Structures are given as structure tokens and as C-alpha cells.
Structure 1
Amino acid sequence: MSVMSIGKIVEQALQDGYLTPGMEAEVGRVCDHASELSIEEYMALDRLMGALLTGEVVAVPRKQFINVMEELVLTEAIARVAEIEATSESSLDVGDIAAYALNRLPPLYATTEEGATYQRQRAQDELQELIAQQVGEAISRNIARSNSGTVLTKTTGNELLSQVSALLQAYAPSYEQKA
């Protein structure tokens, strides 16, 4: 969402009947970055508060649903990574592995616990092999990347700076910082 004025956001919320998390965040950003709000902005915020209190505008919760695929992939990734790390010197990034696999798998959204149970069962019946395959591919890529020496290890200050510098030189040799 591009930067909008509080007035425009309130106008949109009143028109739609909903205040989305994005709109709410934008109002927060405007309020945080303004040294002081104008009378119009205060009036718009007052109008929004009134509309929220009467139910004319409904605030949409940040997360009304869950993606069951996230928990299935994380469970698979954690189990496989723990196995690998227990039998080798490899240190793998579960977050990177899960993100890689999730980007290659269908989402399985649910809004209720019953829906989540249904999606879990469906995934076990139809998608377990695909989940295992994508997590396996993600692990292979993670290991290959860490073996090629292009992974930043947990370090401090100057060590991290020299690692980033080496990476930039390797991947962007013609890059020059403009003053």
C-alpha cells in the first residue's frame, strides 16, 4: 500500500465497511512519523473510532486463518534437519528450508480447527510424498550452498562485515558505491 493520508484511509474504510491490517498499519505509520496531526486528521480518526464503535466499520483481524501447510512443512523440516545434524557436522537453517519448500507447495488454508483437521488429513493422504520431496530438495540446496562457502555464519561486527563484503565482491564485482 502506498503512503495514504489518514483522511483517505478513513474514507476507504467507511466506503468498504472494513479496516484492513494494512490500513491500520498505515494509520499507525502516519501517526508515528508526524510531529503533530492536523485538525482534519484528528477529525478523521474520531470519525473512524466512531464507525468502529458502532460497527459501521469492522476491523479485520490480522490473521483470520492458518495455512496448515506451514506446520506440516516445518514438522517435516525439523525432523529431517535434526536427523542430519545428529549424524554430521552440517548446520542447516530450518527457516530457509521451510520457506523454499513452502514456495513450491500449495497452501492449505483453514479458518476453524475442523477445517485445519480436514486439511491435515487431506495433506497426509494426498501431499505427504510431495512435502517430503520438496523439503528434501530444500535441504540438498541448503547443504550445497553451505558447502560452497556462500553462507553467512553467525559472527559479530567486523567478521560479518568482511563476509558481506566478500559476498558482494563475488556476486557483484562491477558494483561501485556512488557517493
Structure 2
Amino acid sequence: MTIKKCTLEDSLNLQAISVETFTETFKDHNSPEHLNAYLERAYNVNQLKQELTNQSSQFFFVYYNQEVAGYLKTNTGDAQSEAMGDDSLEVERIYVKKKFQKHGLGKHLLNKAVEIAKVQKKEKIWLGVWEENENAIAFYKKKGFLQTGAHSFYMGDDEQVDLIMTKIL
């Protein structure tokens, strides 16, 4: 298992894994129309290139047996999806392909985010997780995150609720 920071040259690979993992995770819970609308907005190459060049965001691939198995996106400052302050780091995305789940890769990606937060002297790390994603919620609770709020997440024009979970460092 290795973790590598993504660059602009990784935009097509980032798009492919983003679409694959998001679809695997949410296709059974959303209409194809809402899912496709979200995928087109969030994971088009131009959007990902903008995010990759934002100095307040970072992407990392996790490799398992030399294959991209998942990825992490972190945000600080005004790149955060909610105004949480300069003392916070957001884990906006942490996804692992289904075939690589249960190998500890999510834990390694989360540890990478915590490491980044500590290097940047952040006081807390936070994320949004869909209120119906019980496995992810249990994982984050096990890692010391507590629910501290909620916010809306739009899948197409379907409003859903993400729990905001925070860990004090």
C-alpha cells in the first residue's frame, strides 16, 4: 500500500476513480437521473482540474498492488465546503473501490488526512457523511469522530442530509 499526491496530470485517472467509487457507493440509493446529474457536475475534468490547482485542496491516490484503489481529498481555508475556520481541515472525499475495501485503505487515507492537519497545525478535522451510510458513520465513530451538525447535500436536485462529524486533534 502506498499513498501518492495527485497532480494535474492525474486528472483523467482522478475522474475515473471518482465516478467509479461514487457510483458503487450511491447507485442503489438514488435515481439514475440524480446520480448522473451529480457525476456530471462534480467530476467533469474541468471541475477536477480547478480543484487540483486550488492551493487549499489536496488529492491523494492510495495504491494496492500498484493499482489505484481509492483516493482522498482534503480542504483548508475557503476551500472547505462549510465555513469551519482556519483551524480546521475538511476531509471532503475519501473513497475506496469496493474490491479493495476491508484492506485497511480507508484507515490509511484518514491517517494521511490527520497527518496533514497536524503538520498544518489544525485543531480539528471534519467531514460530511450521508446520514444513511451506516458503515461509514460507524468507521468514523471508531476513529474518534463525533457528530457536530448536519448540512444539505444535493444529488441532482434531490436534497439529502450529510452528518457533520468532527475530531479534535
The TM-score with structure 1 as length reference comes to 0.25
Which is richer in strand? Answer: 2
Which is richer in helix? Answer: 1
Q: Which has the larger radius of gyration?
A: 1
